[in-house]
């Protein structure tokens, strides 16, 4: 097994670049950090290009089927590759794949309209996964699905749901052609209470930007726009919290 002790090693320099969107797209690869996330990726059937692990993890059971791809690294290299203050000691270079919508369109969808905070994006994906929603669409202006902070916030749910990056208007039109109702979310009592919509096996829910809400053009192209009645004095809910309330209602028991 090869051992790399210096962060100046060319392979390490290349791996570090794979935390940056431009380099990820050029290479078609990204760097995944953390024991749990790497295990989830491997368990989902994905094949890594390379695995870098400190002495503590080179014999990890989950890595054994990919032993020939493992390179042992020093703690200083682990610190260099890490995007966190406390490196976890396992990194995998994974394929950055462009997912497509299912054909024919069916099931339940969550659409993200310019959600910028990586923590919110990750929580939204995790919640969709927990609710059983099969597809999450990252619209324009939404934090990149392969950014280190988003990857960490998704906690492996990205390997359980289909993640598609696309402009939302063509998606809305395609959903309508497929007979799938599209619900927007709007902080406006002229919208309908989410309670008025019956759970269904086929729907799409759009949630909008943390500060500005959904794009008005998208709001005009939904079947129905929903809001959550607020009984207390808070002006609004965090987008991920609001989406969770609506997703679990729309999915039903």
CATH code of the domain containing 32: 3.30.1330.30
200 with 115, same domain? yes
Beta bridge partners of 1: none
Domain final position from 43, 72, 95: 95
Three-class secondary structure of residue 121 per DSSP: helix
Average of pLDDT values for 169-181?
97
Three-class secondary structure of residue 240 per DSSP: helix
pLDDT score at 2? 95
Q: Are 197 and 183 in contact (CB under 8 A)?
A: yes
- The CA-atom distances, in angstroms, between 45 and each of 38, 86, 125, 141, 173 are 11, 28, 19, 30, 32
74 with 114, same domain? no
Residue 67 — φ and ψ, nearest 5°? -55, -35
pLDDT score at 147? 96
Half-sphere exposure of 117 (CA within 13 A, CB side): 11
What does the buried/exposed string (b/e) look like for 144-171 if buried means 16 or more CB atoms within 10 Å of the residue's CB? bbbbbbbbbbbbbbbbbbbbbbbebeeb
pLDDT score at 235? 85
Tens of pLDDT, residue by residue over 10-27, are 999 999 999 999 999 999
Question: Residue holding tokens 């910028």?
Answer: 116
Domain extent at residue 132: 108-251
Q: How confident is the model at residue 196 (pLDDT cuts 50, 70, 90)?
A: very high
125 with 33, same domain? no
143 with 242, same domain? yes
49 with 120, same domain? no
The rounded distance, in Å, linking the Cα atoms of 109 and 162 is: 10
The rounded distance, in Å, linking the Cα atoms of 156 and 40 is: 6
Residue 245 sits at the vertex; the CA angle it makes with 239 and 249, to the nearest 5 degrees, is: 140
Tens of pLDDT, residue by residue over 27-37, are 999 999 999 99
Residue 213 included in any domain: yes
Three-class secondary structure of residue 112 per DSSP: strand
113 with 201, same domain? yes
Residue 100 included in any domain: no
Using a 10 angstrom Cβ sphere, with 0-12 exposed, 13-18 middle and 19 or more buried, the burial of residue 133 is: buried
pLDDT score at 181? 98
Q: How confident is the model at residue 68 (pLDDT cuts 50, 70, 90)?
A: very high
Residue 155 included in any domain: yes
Residue 234 included in any domain: yes
31 with 154, same domain? no
Beta bridge partners of 204: 109, 182
DSSP string, 214-251: S-HHHHTTSSEEEE----SS-S---HHHHHHHHHHHHH
Domain final position from 38, 72, 95: 95
Average of pLDDT values for 218-228?
96
Is the pLDDT reported for residue 220 higher than 80? yes
Q: Mean pLDDT across the chain, nearest whole number?
A: 95
Residue 102 included in any domain: no
pLDDT score at 187? 81
Is the pLDDT reported for residue 190 higher than 90? no
Tens of pLDDT, residue by residue over 108-167, are 999 999 999 999 999 999 999 999 999 999 999 999 999 999 999 999 999 999 999 999
Residues 6+ apart with CB under 8 A from 116: 141, 142, 143, 209, 210
Residue 123 included in any domain: yes
Nearest residue to 224 via CA among 203, 240, 253, 243: 203
Is the pLDDT reported for residue 188 higher than 90? no
40 with 123, same domain? no
Residue 32 included in any domain: yes
* Total number of domains constituting the chain: 2
The rounded distance, in Å, linking the Cα atoms of 150 and 234 is: 27
Question: Residue holding tokens 């290299």?
Answer: 77
Domain final position from 95, 128, 157: 95
pLDDT score at 85? 87
């Amino acid at each position: 097994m090869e051992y790399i002790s210096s962060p100046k090693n060319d392979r390490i320099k290349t791996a570090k670049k794979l935390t940056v969107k431009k380099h990820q797209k050029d290479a078609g690869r990204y760097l995944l950090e953390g024991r749990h996330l790497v295990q989830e990726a491997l368990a989902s059937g994905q094949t890594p290009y390379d695995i870098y692990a400190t002495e503590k993890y080179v014999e990890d059971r989950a890595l054994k089927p990919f032993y020939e791809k493992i390179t042992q690294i020093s703690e200083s290299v682990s610190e260099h590759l890490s995007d966190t203050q406390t490196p976890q000691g396992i990194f995998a270079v994974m394929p950055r794949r462009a997912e497509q919508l299912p054909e024919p369109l069916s099931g339940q969808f969550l659409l993200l309209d310019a959600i910028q905070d990586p923590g919110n994006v990750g929580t939204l994906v995790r919640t969709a996964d927990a609710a059983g929603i099969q597809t999450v669409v990252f619209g324009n202006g939404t934090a990149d699905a392969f950014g280190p902070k988003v990857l960490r916030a998704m906690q492996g749910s990205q390997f359980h749901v289909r993640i598609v990056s696309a402009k939302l208007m063509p998606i809305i039109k395609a959903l309508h052609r497929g007979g799938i109702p599209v619900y927007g979310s709007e902080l406006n009592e002229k919208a309908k209470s989410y309670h008025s919509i019956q759970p269904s096996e086929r729907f799409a829910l759009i949630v909008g930007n943390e500060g500005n809400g959904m794009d008005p053009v998208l709001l005009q192209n939904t079947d129905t726009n929903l809001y959550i009645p607020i009984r207390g004095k808070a002006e609004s809910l965090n987008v991920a919290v609001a989406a969770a309330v609506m997703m679990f209602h729309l999915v039903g028991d």
